[in-house]
Structure 1
Amino acid sequence: MERGLLTRIRSSVALRRIQSWTLYESRLHRLFGRRQLRVETAVAGSADREGSALKELAPIADPQRCDALLQRLLPGIAWPPAQWQAIATHCWWRLSLPTLLLLLPLVIGLAWQFGNQAAWLLLWLPWSAFKAHRQVHRMGYAVDARFVAVRGGWWKRWWRLAELDKLQALQLQRSPLDRLSGTATLWLDTAGASATGPGLCLRFVPLAQAQALQAQLGAALARRKLRW
């Protein structure tokens, strides 16, 4: 991979070092029919600190080329998945709950200074609810014998996948809201996972389904040898 205009940087990484793959599509990307393909690697050292480590495999490319690149570098993997498994869509309100908890005290506080005019801020709530509803209906996951994939986002969309051989840990979590909704979150960990990008996790999955999936993936990991 080569990038840069005045200062050119050429990066390369062994395919076996790539731990996960992320397709990213902003609203501007969709407007021009483009996507971005990023990778996370298990490479550490001076190259990564200097910013020359390979992170964007295809900074700007059309969706078909990104899919073709994944199919070429991961032979035998059916991408894109033929079917995405849906999550518990009735949990959409949980995505807009932080906005509600932040906005109501703010409106109450501003009402002391500006009176009823502060109520205009409440118009943000319908937009927050609409956005949360759309996000939840786009969330999903796909699992087969070789990889696990997660998708999410609405205004800014993303798809993330990892080979089962690259998974290092599974963790099933249940928050108080999960217990209230009868759902769970299944976290999947790989080496070199970024703390800033979309996580490789399955949110709002019905509890029984999440437990069955954890058992399925755990059994698959136990039979496989971790590849670096």
Structure 2
Amino acid sequence: MINKLMTPKIIHHIVGGKRTELIDACLQSWAKLEEYGFEIMIWTDASLAVFIRKNYRFALAAFLAARNHAEAADIARYLVVHKYGGYYVDWDILLFNYPDFLELSETNENGYLVVDKSNDTIASEHFSAPAQEKYLYFLVKDIVHTFNRGERELMWTPQYSGPYRMKTSYERFAECEQDLIDVKDIFEYDYTEIRTATVYGEKQIMVHFWMHSWLEKS
């Protein structure tokens, strides 16, 4: 019997127009998972607009009116994983420990959320879920509700659609099946440490470089 809650082997990336050698290296590191049966899905602003218009029209206005790339990408990442299931990964995250990632995915087959205790949030840069995970849909409904009420301007992007929103929506939603994992259990460095790091790939599963390419409107 098929476990309907199992997270499928799909990696979702949202890419912008300003690629760098580091970003290309990060994307390529995840592309190697195709050797282990994973599918790689690359999303652009244009393909996401078509996707949301077709499947989640209630969120289209908030997506199109995003103040920066992060807000559009936040709404979209929750919805593509809700629709297809799989693993969302920011394009500036480098995967270097393949065996441990495969073990992570097998151990947490119902998906996971990454908890960042340093700022008491749930990380929006990487998470996984089976298709139709209700928490992700609830999360987007929260964002759209804020947008429709004209309250977005009262918030910074992280509170409106990013990691702080993930945490507040999670606290209001009681049916989430995803496991909670500490950020330092999978990331080599946290947000503060990466600024002075010079060595990568010696511990943990992946490293997030936090390039802040989201600050500009795409």
Same fold (TM > 0.5)? no
Task: Return the TM-score normalized by structure 1.
Answer: 0.28
TM-score, length-scaled by structure 2? 0.29
- Which of the two has greater strand per residue? 1
